[in-house]
Structure 1
Amino acid sequence: MNCFQTWPEPIVRVQSLSDSGITAIPERYIKLLQDRPTLSPNTPHNADLISIPTIDLSDLQSDDISVRRNLLGQISSACREWGFFQVVNHGVNHALMRCTREVWREFFELPIEEKQAYANSPATYEGYGSRLGVEKGAKLDWSDYFFLNYLPMSVRDENKWPRLPSSCRELVAEYGDELVRLCEKLMKVFSLNLGLEEDCLQKAFGGEDIDACLRVNFYPKVSTTRPHIGALPAL
């Protein structure tokens, strides 16, 4: 095993730091000023005027060509000007989203011994983790996470997914299927916006054997406020 398959220093779970009663985030987790995101000089400093693009995907089903063309334009503009956007009416079941979010919250509230059974390494990052990269002394993110491979099926190993809560594996599989379908819709839009055949990007990224993974982030707060859970799909 080479140095890139082991962590350079002992892993500290961010959740355990938060639960320890600390009242300030340790310096290790505070980015240097020059490394923090900043607004451009032309960006209004009134936060109310800053709005991440929200795209209504129900317009994809419209019989009106002008409506669909307008939607493609909105997505193109969001990609060029922001690099990301929110989607609504995306087709992913809201009840499933809530259940998946809650089951991951339950996982992170399990005893540390249960979670440590899924501790990851830099070799694949798959499993329960608290840092990315192997640079010793690097600034770290204030979060724990669980990373898993979803597609292709040849790399999926559900034994590496949490055994508890008991519904976790089933929900992850169902949620993952819906996210993959959503991503297929978006890939078609991206292809069309680039002047390509609508299945071009899907084929370029593997077609039916496309790579997909899921990263669930746990963001504890140094307070009594309940922490935030976020699930990030990736293709």
Structure 2
Amino acid sequence: MSNCLQSWPEPIVRVQGLSESGIREIPDRYVKRPADRPCFKETTTLSSSSHVLDNIPLINLENLKSSDESIRDETIELISKACREWGFFQVVNHGVSHELMANARGVWREFFHLPPEEKQKFANSPVTYEGYGSRLGVEKGGKLDWSDYFFLHYLPEPLRDDKKWPSLPITCRKIIAEYGQEAVKLCRKITNILSINLGLNENYLHTKFGGDNERGACLRVNFYPKCPQPDLTLGLSSHSDPGGMTLLLPDTDVPGLQVRRGDEWITVKPVPNAFIINIGDQIQVLSNAIYKSIEHRVIVNSGKERVSLAFFYNPGGDILIKPADELVTEDQPALYLPTTFNEYRAFIRTNGPRGKSQVESLKSPR
């Protein structure tokens, strides 16, 4: 990282503190341009297929174990179709304990309700973003999002430092470790299916991510406090995820995630005990845009806070990512220039969320 990223350009303001202060108007720093303000119209796209529910496809992973080959094939095809047409889908019967999911969400909610001085012990900087934070991007005077977060590394193991993870609640580190282990297993399972659906070797994405020793994984826990003017701001501005794939554990009490579908923003209604999975920019590049990362954003609520856990499954930081040779032909030339994931996400860490502008900037000149 460059020297300009050694410290935040302005004093950090905790959004939770603003929310709990009783203000009735949000500071101008959080007021979005009219074109960027949220739309609260919930668009429900229903299908005659039972696999589409509450806007985005819902897939039962238990069907992958079926003794009926046609059911297994249908499930794999549903995942392929979701990646090609939506970039988002929800999965149930995924193998992760519902109790662990609830405990993970609960322990992080407890963390964000600790006294400010306890949380401040883990305050982050833009060097690595690891720790307790309240802004993305280092643009001085830039518009900010209505959220706080905690970011930590899980893989590769040399980057993992559980001393940087919250020491309170006392079960937090143990639960993070267990949750991360299960999340990695599920992500590996999904990337294997994506590789097969692309016509590649089952281990293709796993290998291109760096295998067991180099693949990356990190967790960002997002806390969206109550907001007195939710129609003027966003919890997280429009962006596509820069990494490989995201495994999101949402708060089911109140919807917050919105996914761009053409010219509309669809509010996703989380299914209890489901994960929301979405394609990141690195898989868009590796698949030569057969699979696309999709813009999404988060709205906030005047009456309820929200907590969500975004587990990012990524290539190793120093691995060069480019379209798979097997997917490049004379009719379908490589769309993107090679770059490492570390170089790529430096853009996000410098500029904050900027829609799809970064992945578009990688396109090869014709």
Q: TM-score, normalised by structure 2?
A: 0.60
- Segments of 5+ residues of structure 1 without an aligned counterpart are 39-44
SS of 1:149's partner is: strand
Corresponding position: 1:129 with 2:133 = yes
In structure 2, C-alpha distance between the alignment counterparts of 1:46 and 1:205, rounded to whole Å: 36
1:1-235 matches, cutoff 5 A: 2-36=3-37, 47-49=43-45, 51-209=55-213, 210-222=215-227, 225-235=303-313
Provide closer, same or farther for how the CA distance between residues 222 and 89 of structure 1 changes in structure 2, counting only shifts above 3 A. same
1:220 and 1:226 in contact (8 A); partners too = yes
Provide closer, same or farther for how the CA distance between residues 114 and 46 of structure 1 changes in structure 2, counting only shifts above 3 A. closer
In structure 2, C-alpha distance between the alignment counterparts of 1:67 and 1:163, rounded to whole Å: 45
Provide closer, same or farther for how the CA distance between residues 148 and 34 of structure 1 changes in structure 2, counting only shifts above 3 A. same
- Segments of 5+ residues of structure 2 without an aligned counterpart are 46-53, 229-301, 314-366
In structure 1, C-alpha distance between the alignment counterparts of 2:227 and 2:193, rounded to whole Å: 41
1:214 and 1:231 in contact (8 A); partners too = yes
In the TM superposition, residue 82 of structure 1 has moved relative to its aligned partner by 1.6
In structure 1, C-alpha distance between the alignment counterparts of 2:208 and 2:143, rounded to whole Å: 35
In structure 2, C-alpha distance between the alignment counterparts of 1:133 and 1:167, rounded to whole Å: 31
In structure 1, C-alpha distance between the alignment counterparts of 2:86 and 2:32, rounded to whole Å: 23
Using the TM superposition, name which of 21-30 and 186-195 deviates more: 21-30
RMSD over aligned Cα, in angstroms? Answer: 1.9
In the TM superposition, residue 29 of structure 1 has moved relative to its aligned partner by 1.7
In structure 2, C-alpha distance between the alignment counterparts of 1:111 and 1:226, rounded to whole Å: 20
SS of 1:85's partner is: strand
Provide closer, same or farther for how the CA distance between residues 3 and 179 of structure 1 changes in structure 2, counting only shifts above 3 A. same
SS of 2:44's partner is: helix
2:240 alignment counterpart: none
In the TM superposition, residue 226 of structure 1 has moved relative to its aligned partner by 4.1
Using the TM superposition, name which of 123-132 and 221-230 deviates more: 221-230
Structure 2 letter corresponding to 1:126: E
Runs of 4+ in 1 over 6 A off after TM superposition: none
SS of 1:159's partner is: helix
1:41 alignment counterpart: none
Structure 1 letter corresponding to 2:303: T
SS of 2:167's partner is: coil
Superposed CA offset, 1:94-131 (max 9, x none): 00111111110110001111101100011000000000
In structure 1, C-alpha distance between the alignment counterparts of 2:28 and 2:90, rounded to whole Å: 32
Sequence identity (%) = 59
Structure 2 letter corresponding to 1:29: Y
SS of 2:187's partner is: helix
In the TM superposition, residue 36 of structure 1 has moved relative to its aligned partner by 4.9
SS of 2:64's partner is: helix
Structure 1 letter corresponding to 2:76: L
1:22 and 1:222 in contact (8 A); partners too = no
1:15 and 1:220 in contact (8 A); partners too = yes
In the TM superposition, residue 19 of structure 1 has moved relative to its aligned partner by 0.4
In the TM superposition, residue 46 of structure 1 has moved relative to its aligned partner by 6.4
In structure 2, C-alpha distance between the alignment counterparts of 1:96 and 1:22, rounded to whole Å: 36
Provide closer, same or farther for how the CA distance between residues 206 and 37 of structure 1 changes in structure 2, counting only shifts above 3 A. farther
